[in-house]
């Protein structure tokens, strides 16, 4: 996968996740207006973008598994 942040004004954190919701790659504080080559497409199935600093604040690492829950309400 590759992603870009053209036209974005702030950095973002990025997670690359496989089909089993395992984190297979990550990028902390990806700068705006730059392309980024992520993980190989056969490894990553999903890309999750979030505000810069979230990965560090949560201690997220390669090998972690995401737990997705439906919203309440």
Range in 17-21, 41-45, 50-54, 69-73 the model is least confident about: 41-45
* pLDDT at residue 1, as a whole number: 54
Q: How sure is the predictor about 39, in pLDDT bands with cuts at 50, 70 and 90? A: low
pLDDT on residue 40: 65
For residue 59, pLDDT beyond 70: yes
Residue 37 scores a pLDDT above 80: no
For the whole model, what pTM was predicted?
Answer: 0.82
Distances 70 to 16, 20, 45, 59, 73 between C-alpha atoms, Å: 21, 17, 20, 23, 9
Q: Which helix (H) or strand (E) holds 57?
A: helix 54-58
* Domain boundary assignment for the chain: 2-58
What share of the chain has pLDDT > 70, as a percent?
Answer: 86
């Amino acid at each position: 996968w590759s992603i870009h942040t053209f036209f974005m004004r702030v950095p973002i954190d990025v997670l690359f996740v496989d089909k089993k919701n395992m984190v297979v790659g990550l990028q902390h504080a990806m700068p705006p207006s730059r392309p980024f080559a992520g993980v190989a497409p056969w490894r990553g199935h999903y890309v999750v973008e979030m505000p810069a600093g979230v990965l560090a604040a949560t201690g997220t690492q390669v090998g972690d598994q995401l737990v997705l829950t439906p919203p309440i309400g």
